[in-house]
Chain A
Amino acid sequence: MRRPRGHLGRLTAALVLISLVPLGLLTYLTLRLAESAVHGEVERKLTSTATMSALLVEKEMTSLADLVGAYAGRPALVEALEDAEDDPEAVTLHLRDLRGIHHGIFTTFLAEPDGTLVDISPSTPEIVGKDFSFRDWYKGVTTSGRPYISEVYRTQARGEALVVAAAAPIRGPSGRFLGILVAAYDLDHLRTVSAGLEEAQDVKLRIVDQSGILVTSGADASIGLESARNDPRVRAALAGRSGLTQLDTDDGRRLSAYAPVRTIGWAVTASVPADTAFAAIAGLRSTVVAISAALGLVLALALVFLARNLYARRRAEQEAQRLADVNRAVLDATVDGISMVDTEGNTLLRNTALEMILSQIPGLPEGGTMFERAAAIGELTTDPAGFREFMASLAERPESDGEYELELREPKLSFKLFSAPVEGDGERLGRIITVRDVTGEHEADRLKSEIVATVSHELRTPLASIVGFSELLLTRELDSETRGRYVQTIYKEASRLTLLINDFLDLQKIESGNFTLSLEPFELGDILAHQVGLFSGQSLAHELELESSNEPVVVLGERDRIEQVLGNLLSNAIKYSPAGGRVRVTAELRDDAVRVSVRDSGLGIPAAQQAQIFTKFFRVDSSDTRKIGGTGLGLALCREIVEAHGGRIGFESSEGEGSTFWFELPVGPRVHDQRPRALIVEDDPAAASLLAEHLKDLGFASSTVATGEAALELAFEHAPALVCLDMALAGELDGWEVLARLKENPVTVNVPIVICTGRNGRERAAALGATAFLTKPFSAARLREAVKRVLPAGGRSVLVVDDEENVRRLVVETLGGNGLELREAADGAEALEAVALRRPDAIVLDLIMPGVDGFVVLERLQADEETRSIPVVVLTGRNLSPAERARLRTGGVSLLEKSAYSTGELRRLILQAVGADGDAVEFLRV
C-alpha cells in the first residue's frame, strides 16, 4: 500500500503546485498592476502639482513683474520722473498707487539708474538717498534691462520677513534709462497660496529662487535664507528640467516631482513620503497577499482533503478489490461448485469448480435463471420429479435451507446440492448453492461393495463345494469310487481356494504399500526357459515356443515375482486357447527395457471387455470362457508386480484370433557378461527348456531356435561356443543339413556340435563333424560329460580386472577359446560389483589401479565367506615390497609379473584354478 500513498502524495503536491502557482502569479500581477497604477497616479499628481505650482508661482511672479513693468512704463511716471524736480509728489503718488494695487506689495520705491533710492512708499526718509545698487534686483534689472524678480532676501522694513523685489527699468521716450521701479513683495502671500496647494494636493511644496534659496516650504514661515542648492531635485529644476525622483531625505524616503519656473529662473518641488504615497499599495498588497494566501491555503487544504479522500477511496477500493480477489481465490480453490443467485435466481457469482461441473452437463442453457437451468438439469436426472419438487421448495420458501442428492443418467454423475439463503442488512439477497460432485464417492462405495461381494462370492463358491462334499462324505454311505471323486473335488476346490487367497493376499499386500521387492540382477533368459519348460508339460494340445534374444539380458528384479508374472501369462495363454495351438514366448531388447511377450492363438478378448482386463476379479465372459476357471486376480497381480518393478504391462487382442500379453522390465546394469553362448536348435520347447537349464548349470547362456534356418542365421552372425542340435526340426532344413552347413562355414567350422536326438546316426554325425552324440532321453550328467569333453573349461567364469584395456584384451585373448566365460572390470569397484553379481570361478587381478586397488579387492574377497575361496591370479608390473608380498600371501593367490609371465603360464594357472584340467587345483604360492 506504500506505492499508491507515495503516488497520491506526489499527485497532491502537483495539484497544489498547479493551482497555487497561477494564484501566486495572479497575486503578483495584480500587485504589480495596482502598484504601477498607484505609482502612476501618485506621480501624475506630484508632477501636476509641481507643474501647477510652478505655473502658479510663475504667474504670480510674472504678473508682479509685469505689474511693476507696466507701472514703470506709465508715461505719467516717466513724465513725472523727467520732471521730478517739478513735481516730486507725482512720483510718490505713483509709488503709493503701485503699493496699493497688489496685496503682496508692501513697499515700492524708485531708484536712480545708479541705485540710489529716490523715493519710497510708505515714506521712509531715512533710507532715501542710500545706494541700493548692491541689491540683486538692481543687478538683475541693469543686466537684463527688463522687469526682474529678485532673489529672496530678508527685510527689516517688514520685520525680517522673506521678500522678493520685482524691479523694472523706467525708460524715457528716447529710451533713456531713467531709473528703476521696485516693488517689494512679501512672500507670505505666495506661502499662503503654496500652503493651500499643499493642503489641497496633500504634498509638500517647496519653491526656491534662482540662487537656490528656499522661498517657501509649505506653510512654514520660519524658514530663513536657507539654500537648497544641494538638493538634486532643486539643481535639476534650476537647470530647467522637470521630472520625478525618489530619494532619501531628512524626512525619510520621499517621492518628488520637480519643475522649473522658467521665466523667473525659480524652481518648485512637490514631494510626498514614499510610504504614504504607496500606503495604498502597501494596503492593497497586504490585502491581496492576505486574500491570496487565504485562497491558497483554502485551495491547498481542499486539494489535500480531496487527495486524502481520493486516497482513502482508492485504498477502500483496493481493499475491496483485494478482498474480492481473496474471496474469488478461496471460491476457486474450493473443490465444491459454488454459485450465488439473487432472489430471482439470476447468477451473481460462480466459482471455477461450478463452471467445471456445469461444463460436464450437456445441453444446458447458457444464460437464464437458476430455475431455468435446474429445469434443464432435472430432465437429465434419474428422478426428475424429485428434483422438480426440491427446486419448487426452494422457490416457495426462499428463507429455508435445502439439500438434495441427484444422479445424472448421462453422463453418469452424482451431485449433492446444498442451498442456503443469504441475507445482508436484514434483506434477502438470494441464495448460495453448493454443488458437490459425489460421483467418485459413489463409485468408490459401489466398487467397494462390489469387491466385497466378489470376494465373498469367490471365496464362498469353492467353500460351498468343500463344505457340501465333506458333508456328503460324512453323512452318506458312499462307494469308494464316489468317495474318491468327492475327495478329489474337495482337494481341487481347496487348492483353488488356497490359490485365490494367496493371490488376494498378494494383491492386498501390494496395494496397501507393504510390499517390498528384493531386487537382484538376474538373467531373464533363465526364467523364460524355466517357465516355458514348466508349462510345456501341462497340455498336450499346446505347443510352447521360446524365442529369446542372442544377448543375455540382465534385469534387476525379484526373480520369483517375475516368474509369477510370466507363469500367470503362460497359464492364461493356455487356458484361453482351449483348442490348443501355439503359445509363443519372445523376449526382445528395446532401448532400456526388455519386452517379454506371450502370444496365443486362442479365444481373444472381446473389444468391449478389453478395458477391464486388469481389473480385479474380472474374467472375460463369454460362452467359451465360462468353463475356464481362475481367480480373476492374476492379471491385476501381474500389473502390480510389473509396475512395482518400474515396468509396464499391456496386451493386444482380437476376439477369436488370440491375444498377446506383454510386459516390459527396465534392463539392469549392463555387465560385461561374456558367458559362452550355447545355441540350442530344438523344436520341442520342453526339451529346449530342459537343455537350457542344464547348460545354464554348466555356465552357458543359451539361445533357442526351433528351425534350422534360424539356427544358421544366428550361428553365422556370431559363432556360438557350442551348438546343441536336434535332428528333427520345425522348418524346411533338418538337423543333418544344419550340421553340414555349420561345418562348411569358416565362421562355425570349429564350433563343437553336440547332437541331441531321438534317432540313430552316430556314425553319420561323427562323419559330418559332430563332436558328441546324445540319444534322447539323456540325463543331465550325460550332457555335462559331453560338454566337458568338448569344452573342458566350458562355462567357467573368469573375471579379468585391470585398468589398462590392452592388458585386459591380452588376457581375454590368451584365455579365449576354452569355453570360459570372460568378464572384465576396469577397476576394483567394478570388480567387486561383478563378483557380487555373480561369483566368478577365478580372478585375474591387477594390483595398481585408481580408486579401489587390487589390495583392497583382495581384502574384501578375503573378508567374505562366499568369495574367500575364489582363486586369484595377481598380474602385476610392479616390483612388490616384502610387506606387499606378505599381504598377498594370505589366500589362494598366484603372482605373475607382467614383464615375465608367459601366456601359456597364465592359461595353465587359470585352467587349473577353474578345475578344467581335471586335476586337483594346485596353487602356486608366492
Chain B
Amino acid sequence: MSAQPTSRILICDDEEVLRSLVRATLDDASYEIVEAEDGDQSIELARSLKPDVILLDMMMPGRTGLEVLEILRADPELSRTPVVMLTARARVSDRDAAVAAGADRYLAKPFSPLELIGVVEELLDSAA
C-alpha cells in the first residue's frame, strides 16, 4: 500500500485533544494531517493546501462549522471537497442543517476512530 499517494486531511477543531485524537486515529503514512484551530484558519488552509478531506467541528467559537462549510461550498475550488462534520450536537436538526449546508458525512461526538477511518477512506475512494 506504500504506492498509495498521501491524502491530505484537514482537521478543524478548537479542542486540541480532539485534534490529537484525529491525529492518532489517522496516524498512518498515507495521511498527511493538517490542523486548524478555528474557522478562519481552516478556510485559509483549505484554500492554500486543497485538502482531500476536511473534518470540520460544528461548534467553534467565532465562525461556526456551518458557516465555514457554506464558505467552502461557495468557493468553486473547494465546493466538491468532501467534508465530514464532527459535532457534539446530536440532534437530528443539527444533522439536517449540516447536510443542507453541503456536508458529505456527519459524525457525532463521541465517535469511533474506526468509523472515522472508514468514513475518510470511503470519501477518498469515491473521490478517486
Residues of A within 8 A of B (CB): 453, 456-469, 471-472, 475, 482, 486, 489, 492-493, 619, 621, 623, 626-627
CA A461 to CA B14, docked complex, whole Å: 10
A residues near B16, Cβ cutoff 8 Å: 627
Q: Is the CB of A472 within 8 A of B24?
A: yes
A residues near B111, Cβ cutoff 8 Å: 464, 467-468
B residues near A459, Cβ cutoff 8 Å: 88
A-contact bits for B11-47, CB 8 A (1 contact / 0 none):
0001111101100110000000000011000000000
CA A626 to CA B36, docked complex, whole Å: 12
> Does residue B118 face the partner (Cβ distance < 8 Å to A)?
no
Q: Is the CB of A464 within 8 A of B88?
A: yes
Interface of B is mostly: loop
Residues of B within 8 A of A (CB): 14-18, 20-21, 24-25, 37-38, 59, 61-62, 87-91, 94, 108-114
How many A-B residue contacts, CB cutoff 8 Å?
Answer: 75
Q: Is the CB of B110 within 8 A of A468?
A: yes
CA A467 to CA B107, docked complex, whole Å: 14
Q: Is the CB of A461 within 8 A of B109?
A: yes
Q: Is the CB of A468 within 8 A of B21?
A: yes
What are 5 inter-chain pairs, A to B, with CB distance below 8 A?
A: A460-B88, A464-B109, A469-B21, A471-B113, A619-B61
B residues near A621, Cβ cutoff 8 Å: 61-62
Q: Which residue in B25, B89, B114 is a CB contact (below 8 Å) of A453?
A: B89
A residues near B88, Cβ cutoff 8 Å: 456-461, 464
Q: Is the CB of B113 within 8 A of A465?
A: no
A residues near B18, Cβ cutoff 8 Å: 461, 464-465
B33 to chain A, nearest CB (A): 15
B residues near A472, Cβ cutoff 8 Å: 21, 24-25, 113
B residues near A475, Cβ cutoff 8 Å: 113-114
Q: Which residue in A461, A463, A469 is a CB contact (below 8 Å) of B24?
A: A469
A460-B90, A626-B61 given; name 17 further pairs at CB < 8 Å: A453-B91, A456-B89, A459-B88, A460-B109, A460-B110, A462-B17, A463-B109, A464-B21, A464-B109, A465-B18, A465-B20, A467-B110, A468-B21, A468-B24, A468-B25, A468-B111, A475-B114
Q: Is the CB of A456 within 8 A of B20?
A: no
Q: Is the CB of A493 within 8 A of B17?
A: yes
Q: Is the CB of B90 within 8 A of A456?
A: yes
- Report if A461-B15 is in contact (Cβ < 8 Å); known contacts: A471-B114, A472-B113, A621-B62: yes
CA A193 to CA B61, docked complex, whole Å: 146
Top 8 A-B residue pairs of the complex, sorted by shortest distance between their CB atoms: A460-B88, A457-B88, A467-B110, A464-B109, A464-B110, A621-B61, A460-B109, A468-B21
CA A199 to CA B18, docked complex, whole Å: 149
A residues near B94, Cβ cutoff 8 Å: 453
B residues near A458, Cβ cutoff 8 Å: 88
- Report if A471-B109 is in contact (Cβ < 8 Å); known contacts: A460-B90, A461-B18: no
CA A623 to CA B40, docked complex, whole Å: 11
A390 to chain B, nearest CB (A): 26
A240 to chain B, nearest CB (A): 139
- Report if A626-B14 is in contact (Cβ < 8 Å); known contacts: A456-B88, A457-B59, A471-B114: yes
Q: Is the CB of B24 within 8 A of A466?
A: no
Max chain B C-beta neighbours (<10 A), residue from A464, A471, A482: A464
CA A456 to CA B61, docked complex, whole Å: 15
B residues near A482, Cβ cutoff 8 Å: 24
CA A458 to CA B59, docked complex, whole Å: 10
Q: Is the CB of B110 within 8 A of A466?
A: yes
Residue of B nearest to A489 (CB): B17
Max chain A C-beta neighbours (<10 A), residue from B15, B18, B114: B15
Residue of A nearest to B90 (CB): A456
CA A253 to CA B41, docked complex, whole Å: 138
CA A627 to CA B17, docked complex, whole Å: 10
Q: Is the CB of B114 within 8 A of A463?
A: no
A residues near B37, Cβ cutoff 8 Å: 626
B residues near A619, Cβ cutoff 8 Å: 61
B86 to chain A, nearest CB (A): 8
B residues near A460, Cβ cutoff 8 Å: 88, 90, 108-110
B residues near A468, Cβ cutoff 8 Å: 21, 24-25, 110-113
CA A471 to CA B88, docked complex, whole Å: 18
A residues near B24, Cβ cutoff 8 Å: 468-469, 472, 482, 486
A residues near B62, Cβ cutoff 8 Å: 621
Residue of A nearest to B58 (CB): A457
CA A486 to CA B15, docked complex, whole Å: 16
B residues near A466, Cβ cutoff 8 Å: 110
A residues near B15, Cβ cutoff 8 Å: 461
- Report if A465-B21 is in contact (Cβ < 8 Å); known contacts: A460-B90, A460-B109, A621-B62: yes
- Report if A453-B21 is in contact (Cβ < 8 Å); known contacts: A464-B110, A626-B37: no
CA A462 to CA B15, docked complex, whole Å: 9
Q: Is the CB of B90 within 8 A of A465?
A: no
CA A468 to CA B112, docked complex, whole Å: 6
CA A457 to CA B14, docked complex, whole Å: 12
B residues near A461, Cβ cutoff 8 Å: 15, 17-18, 88, 109
CA A472 to CA B22, docked complex, whole Å: 11
Q: Is the CB of A463 within 8 A of B110?
A: yes
CA A22 to CA B36, docked complex, whole Å: 109
CA A453 to CA B94, docked complex, whole Å: 10
A residues near B91, Cβ cutoff 8 Å: 453
A110 to chain B, nearest CB (A): 166
CA A492 to CA B91, docked complex, whole Å: 27
B residues near A463, Cβ cutoff 8 Å: 109-110
